[in-house]
Amino acid sequence: MTGALQLGVIVGGLAAAAVVISRPALTTAVPRLGGALAALTLAAIGLLPPLLLACAAAALGSRPASPGAVHPDGRAVAGACVVAAGPPGPAQLVLYGLAVALAAGTGLAAARALAAGRRAGLAGRALAAAAPRLVPGGMTAWVLPASQPAAWCAGLRRPRPVVTTGLLDLLTPAEQDAVLCHEAAHIRLGHTRVLLAGAAIARAYRWLPPARLAWALLRRDLEAAADDEAAGITGPGPLISALARAALAAVPPGTAAFADPDDLRYRIRRLQQPPAGGGRRGLALAAAGALLTASLSLAACQALRAGVTWPGLAGCLALLGYPAWRPAWAHPRRLKAYPP
């Protein structure tokens, strides 16, 4: 593949991402695609800055050190611009240092998110105290005997919906099922891992406005996608009232409120009036997502020094594309009819 074409694909993918995250109304009818695009955008934000800095450092290194001196091998530098030829100068060291610092910041945020996620997993005495409950979609949720109203996806390796008796007591049976279906949909669509990775990158780059936009879009669209799944099983009515009752429930002081008020309003409005016209938007977003995936794969290939051969490109594509696209393609039709 020629350099100009590669550059075109990379820039085109980033431009598509910029359009989508700056106009979140585009994804209202197709939250699954919106979520995939937001996840890919966050991956780009996590990947590209360190890579660009390393490239800049390598480019500096490829210049002749003193006027008239001939650089031994410019091609090695141009091919995989992570390691420059020749001994690094001070400017190069600074750029490499920045690249390493950015990558390390992302790694640290990921490690912290992983540790926090592990703590929130259901295990030990709490697991023994919990009672299993079948979710209409065919998954087992755990009911935790606790008065504080809460429902979440617990665990990293084998996530399961966990709901407290305090929350179930507030809801009618249909509303209980709606909440459990919503949490189960997060798990079936693979949201927990995408959210974890996204949270780590968004945290590491919280000073960067595009990262904040992509993170907000990711959270909103994954919630909307899970809402759609749950509404498909129980109907929108029980889910709307369950969301309202849960949001109004009192929590102990000091517990973080998990709501951006506008997000909850957006979700309820979507459920009341399902957005129409997903077909063409979906096609356009899928095309944008494909371009962004290709763009990221090219960049990742450079980073991994896999070279831009077709097998290398396919490997990078699978590595990056699978987790980000899984929420979009996971099929909802394995669900059984409700009520049984």
Partner 1 sequence: MERRDVAGTRLGALESELLELLWAAGQPLGATELARRLPGPPRAYNTVVTVLTRLVGKGLVERDGDGRRFTYRPAGDRDELTARAIEKLLAAASDRRAVLARLVTGAQDPGLRAELAALLRDSDKGQGGESQQ
Taking the least distance from each CB to partner 1, the nearer of 183 and 228 is 183
Residue 244 found at the interface with partner 1 (CB under 8 A)? yes
Strand partners, 326: none
Q: Is 332 in the site for partner 1 (CB under 8 A)?
A: no
Q: Which DSSP symbol is given to 25? A: G
Which residue lies nearer to partner 1 by CB, 27 or 176? 176
231 contributes a contact to partner 1 by CB under 8 A: no
Using CB under 8 A, pick the residue from 213, 222, 224, 292 that binds partner 1: 222
Our finding on whether 44 is near partner 1 (CB under 8 A) is: no
Residue 213 Cβ vs partner 1, minimum distance, rounded to whole Å = 17
Contacts of 258 by beta carbon, 8 Å cutoff, 6+ apart: none
Binding of residue 257 to partner 1 (CB under 8 A): yes
Give the residue, chosen from 67, 90, 124, 132, that forms a contact with partner 1 under the rule CB under 8 A: 124
226 near partner 1, judged by CB under 8 A = yes
DSSP element (H, E) containing 12: helix 3-22
Shortest distance (Å) from residue 19 CB to partner 1: 25
**In the complex, what is the shortest distance from the CB of residue 13 to partner 1, in angstroms, rounded to a whole number?**
25
93-122: contacts with partner 1 (CB under 8 A): 112-113, 116-117, 119-120, 122
Exactly one of 70, 256, 276, 337 binds partner 1 (CB under 8 A); that residue is 256
Strand pairing class (139-144; 160-164) = parallel
Which residues have CB under 8 Å from 111's CB, separation 6+?
Answer: none
130-149: contacts with partner 1 (CB under 8 A) = 144-146, 148-149
Q: Does 179 bind partner 1 (CB under 8 A)?
A: yes
Which residue's entry shows tokens 């929350």? 167
Question: Counting contacts by CB under 8 A, is residue 191 touching partner 1?
Answer: yes
Among 245, 286, 312, 332, binds partner 1 (CB under 8 A): 245
The CB-of-4 to partner 1 minimum distance in angstroms stands at 40
The answer to whether residue 292 forms part of the interface with partner 1 (CB under 8 A) is no
Closest contact distance (angstroms) between CB of 150 and partner 1 is 6
Residue 96 or 142 having the CB closest to partner 1: 142
Give residues with Cβ within 8 angstroms of 19, minimum separation 6: 26, 288
Q: Does 247 bind partner 1 (CB under 8 A)?
A: yes
Residue among 240 and 303 whose Cβ is closer to partner 1? 240
Judged by CB under 8 A, the number of residues near partner 1 is 62
Can residue 304 be called a binding residue for partner 1 (CB under 8 A)? no
Q: Is 330 one of the binding residues for partner 1 (CB under 8 A)?
A: no
Three state DSSP letters for the chain:
CCHHHHHHHHHHHHHHHHHHHHCHHHHCCCHHHHHHHHHHHHHHHHHHHHHHHHHHHHHHHCCCCCCCCCCCCHHHHHHCCCCCCCCCCHHHHHHHHHHHHHHHHHHHHHHHHHHHHHHCCCCHHHHHHCEEEEECCCEEEEEECCCCCCEEEECCCCCEEEEEHHHHCCCCHHHHHHHHHHHHHHHHCCHHHHHHHHHHHHHHCCCCHHHHHHHHHHHHHHHHHHHHHHHHHHCHHHHHHHHHHHHHCCCCCCCCCCCCHHHHHHHHHHHHCCCCCHHHHHHHHHHHHHHHHHHHHHHHHHHHCCCCCHHHHHHHHHHHHHHHHHHHHCCHHHCCCCCC
> Would you tell me which residues interact with partner 1 (CB under 8 A)?
112-113, 116-117, 119-120, 122-129, 144-146, 148-154, 162, 164, 167, 179, 182-183, 186-187, 191-192, 195-196, 199, 203, 219, 222, 226, 237, 240-241, 243-251, 255-259, 261, 264-265, 268
